[in-house]
A and B are shown apart, each in its own frame.
Chain A
Amino acid sequence: MNQTQQVPVTVLTGFLGAGKTTLLNRILTEQHGRRYAVIVNEFGEEGIDNDLVVDADEEVFEMNNGCICCTVRGDLIRILSGLMKRADQLDAIIVETTGLADPAPVAQTFFVDQDVADRTKLDAIVTVADAVHLNSQLGEHHEAEEQVAFADVVLLNKTDLVDETGLDGVEKRIKKINPYTKIIRTAHCDAPLENILSLDAFSLERVLEVEPDFLDSDHDHEHDDDVTSVSIVSEAPLDLEKFEAWFGKLLQTHGQDILRSKGIIEFLGIDERYVFQGVHMLMDASPMGAWPEGANRNSRMVFIGRNLESMNLKEGFEGCKAA
C-alpha cells in the first residue's frame, strides 16, 4: 500500500480484577507524548473518560470463507476503520478484551480482513495476570489458559501480595503453558510502557529472534485439556512439497486445537529462510532472507495448543525431510 504506515494494535487480555484498567489509565494519562486510542469493552471494569476511548461490544462473526474455525471481531473491523479516518495520526491502538473472551477472534481479524491488515498490524497480545489468583483461575477457566497461551507478554501483577516462592510457582505454571512468553513482574501494572507497547511480536522478523528457549522441547502434562507446547528441530533440510502437504492438512484438521504456531524452516534447494507465524488455522508466511553466515541451518517449529500429542507432530515433521 502506498498509504500511511500501519498503526500497531496491542491486544490486552486478562481476567476481571487483574489490573487491566490500571494499565489503561496509565496509558491514557501518563505524559508519554504519544497518541494512543483505547478500545474498551462496555462490560469492562469502571469507566474511563477520555475522547480517545471507544466502546466496543465484542461481536464475534463467523466468516463465510470455508474456514471452519475462522471467527473475527466484527466490531473491531468497524472501529479500526473509523479510527483510520481521523485527521490525526495515532501512534498505537490498544484493544481491551473482557476476562472471559477468547483472544483468537481478535488476532484472526488481522489475518482475515484486508482493510484492517492494510492500515493496522497486530503488535502483541499482552495478558495481565493476577499473581494471587492466577493459579485457581487457570484451573477453573479455559479462557484463562488461552489468554496465557496466546500471550507474547504476561504482566504478572500484584506481586507485592505474594511471596517469592509463590511467584516462582505461578511463573512455572505460566511457562508450562507457554514457554515462549515474556513475564514481567509488577505490583501495580507499573512496568515501563515500552515493554508492553510496540513490541512487533507478530512480525515474521521477530520469529527470527526467538530466545534459546525455542529449542527447549521439554514438556509434560497432566490431563488432555491442558494447554501445552511442543517444539521440534531438524538438522536436515525439508522438502517444500511434502511440508506444504503435511502442514496444510495439519492446520485444516487440528487448527482449532493449535492456538499459536511459529517456525523457521530450511527447504532443500532454497537459499532463503522460510518463516511462518500463525493463529489457529490462519498464518502469515514468507521467505525472509538468507541464513546468516555460519549459522546453524536448523529447521525449528513450535506449537502451543491442546491435544498436541495426538497430532503426531514429530512424526509428521520427520516425514517432511528431503530424501
Chain B
Amino acid sequence: MQSGVTSTTVDRTAKRIGISETEVERRGFKYELGAPVTGAATVGDAVAVGFGDGSLRFFRPGQKPSVQQSHLGVILCMAAYRDVLVTGGDDGRCLKITPNGIMQELADFDTKWVDCVAATQGLVACSSGKNVQLWSAGQSKPLNFVHSSTVGGLSFDARGQRLAVAHYGGVTVWGRTRRKWKSSTFAWKGFHGAVTFSPDGKYLVSAMQENAVHGWRIRDKANLAMSGYPAKVKSFAWAGDTPFLVTSGADEAICWPFDGKNGPMERSPLCIAHNRKQIATCVLALQNEDAVFAGFRDGSVLLAKLDGTVDPIAIRGSSGAEVTAMALSPSKSHLAIGDAKGNVLWAPLGNGVAYARNV
C-alpha cells in the first residue's frame, strides 16, 4: 500500500500446493508443540529451540527432546556461544541457561521486555528498550549503555572486542579498550534491526525496517546499500569462504559477496534456492560445505549449494506456516526446523549433507 492509487487483492487465502512431504521429513521426527517457535541455537551437545509459551526444548541426536520452562511469557530472543545459552523474554527477564538445564537470571527489567541478546567468549549482552547491559567474565556487575532509541539488534564480533548495537538512525559499535568500552557511530537513516559483523570483522551489516540490508566498511565507514528485496529481511547468515552474506526477504536466498577490497559494492549477489513465489523467512549456513538452508513462508526448506550449479533439494515440504528458526546439531548430523504454528521437525540430514558435500 503505497501512496497514489493502487489496487490490492482482498482475497489472501493461500493455496496449499507447493512442496510435498520429503524423504528427510519421513525419516525425521515431527512435533506439534502448540506455541510458535521463536528461536533456535546450537548449544553444547544440543540444539535449543525456544517457544512463545516460555518453554525451551533441547534436541539431541538419538534422544527424546527435554523440556524446560524458562520464561513466563514469550521467549523473544536467544543467542548461544559454546555451552552457554542466553534468552530474553516478554517477562522482562534475561536468563543464562546451560544445555543440562542450569538456569541463572542475569537481569529482571520487570514490565519491560528483553528484546535482544548476544553472547561470545566471556561476554553476554542483552537489551531492554534503549538500554544495553553487558556482562564480562570476572566482573560482578554489568555495564549499562544507553542509546537514542529502542535497540533492534545486538552482535559481538568474532574476537569479542566489539559489540554492535542497532537502533533508529544507525548502529553504535562499542569497542573494548584497556580501561573501558568506547562508542563509535555508523549512521544511516531509518530503523536498523538485526546486526552482524563479517567473520573477518571488516564489515558491519544491519537489516532495516525497509526492505533492505545496510552495510558499512568499518575502516572508513563507507556505505553499502543492498536493496531491491520484495519483503523485509528477517534473517541472515555468513556462508562459505568468500564469505557470502546470505539473506532472506526474497523468493530465493540472496547472497552478497564480501571478499576483496570493496565487498559487494557495485557487484551483483548470487541468487540460490529459488522457490517459486514463496518468500524466504529464515536462512542458515551449512559451514564447510558451501551450502545454505533456506526456509520459506509456506514452511518449506531448501538446501542449495552456493555455486548454484545444481538444483536445490527439498528438506521440508510446505507445512503451511512460516519457518521462524533453524539450527544444526554440533556435528551437523541433524537439523531442527521450527515454524510459526509451533511445529518442529528434527531431521537427520544424512543424504542432505552428503548431497551438499558431493555435488
Contact = CB atoms under 8 A, between A and B. Distances in A.
A216 interface: no
A117 B231 CA distance: 13
B1 interface: yes
Nearest to A64: B190
Nearest to B10: A286
Given A2-B16, A114-B231, A64 B3 contact: no
A61 B190 contact: yes
Contact of A247 (B2, B5, B7, B189): B5
Contact of B8 (A55, A282, A286): A286
A285 interface: yes
Contact of A55 (B38, B112, B298): B112
Contacts of B320: 2
A248 B1 CA distance: 13
A210 B136 CA distance: 61
A255 B1 contact: no
Nearest to A281: B3
Contact of A87 (B8, B16, B34, B190): B34
Interface in B170-209: 189-191, 208-209
B5 A244 contact: yes
B51 interface: yes
Given A63-B190, A82-B76, A87 B52 contact: yes
Contacts of A79: 113
Interface residue tally of chain A, by bracket? 35 or more
A111 interface: yes
B4 to A, nearest CB: 4
A259 to B, nearest CB: 15
Contact of A255 (B3, B35, B189): B3
A262 to B, nearest CB: 14
Nearest to A111: B1
Nearest to A67: B3
A55 B111 contact: yes
A288 B342 CA distance: 35
Majority DSSP secondary structure for residues of A touching B: mixed
Contact of B150 (A54, A74, A282): A74
Contacts of A114: 231-232
Majority DSSP secondary structure for residues of B touching A: loop
Given A3-B340, A87-B35, A248-B5, A78 B115 contact: yes
A244 B231 CA distance: 26
Contacts of B288: none
B75 to A, nearest CB: 8
Interface in B61-79: 73-74, 76
B251 to A, nearest CB: 15
Interface in A149-182: none
B99 interface: no
Contacts of A236: none
Contact of B73 (A74, A84, A86): A86
A51 B113 CA distance: 12
Nearest to A265: B5
B8 A284 contact: yes
Contacts of B341: 3
A65 interface: yes
Interface string A73-85: 0110111001011
A303 interface: no
Given A74-B191, A87-B34, A82 B113 contact: yes
Nearest to A243: B5
A285 B191 contact: no
A252 B5 CA distance: 11
A61 B168 contact: yes
A251 B3 contact: yes
Contact of B7 (A67, A248, A251, A285): A285
B113 to A, nearest CB: 6
A225 B162 CA distance: 51
A87 B5 CA distance: 38
B252 interface: no
B74 A86 contact: yes
Contacts of A115: 232
Given A1-B12, A59-B149, A87-B53, A53 B111 contact: yes
A252 B34 CA distance: 46
7 contacts: A59-B149, A79-B113, A82-B90, A114-B232, A247-B4, A255-B3, A283-B6
Interface of A: 1-3, 51, 53-55, 57, 59, 61-65, 67, 70, 72, 74-75, 77-79, 82, 84-87, 111-115, 117, 204, 243-244, 247-248, 251-252, 255, 276, 281-288
Given A82-B76, A114-B232, A286-B10, 4 more contacts: A64-B190, A67-B2, A70-B3, A75-B150
